Amino acid sequence: LQCLNLAFLLVDVWLSFLPSIYLVFLVVLYEGLLGGAAYVNTFHQIALETSDEHREFAMAAACISDTFGISLSGLLALPLHDFLCNLP
């Protein structure tokens, strides 16, 4: 679903079919809720499905993966921002 939101918003950048910025805010809010739900569900599943001796390692690995993903998306956002700002 988040990839569909990304595609939808990128198409809006190119075609500018949304009449109001507030609709973009609603899509971004929806995407944030999806991301938060996925984050909470990940840790809930780790807590339920891992044994006591592996739970701490599994949660640490999930935290490191989350931080790496956020850092990578930040790095990718820089050239994407420049590209999108140079569109006619």
Q: Do residues 28 and 3 lie in contact, with contact meaning Cβ atoms separated by under 8 Å?
A: no
* Tens digits of residue pLDDT in 3-43: 899 899 989 988 889 999 999 999 999 999 999 999 999 99
Q: Which residues contact 13 (CB under 8 A, 6 or more apart)?
A: 84, 87
Please report which confidence band the pLDDT of residue 77 belongs to, taking 50, 70 and 90 as the band edges. very high
Q: pTM for this one? A: 0.70
Question: Could you tell me the two tokens for 8?
Answer: 């939808």
The answer on pLDDT for 60 being more than 90 is yes
Q: pLDDT over 90 for what percent of the chain?
A: 76
* Mean pLDDT of the chain, nearest integer: 92
In the block, residue with structure tokens 């190119």: 14
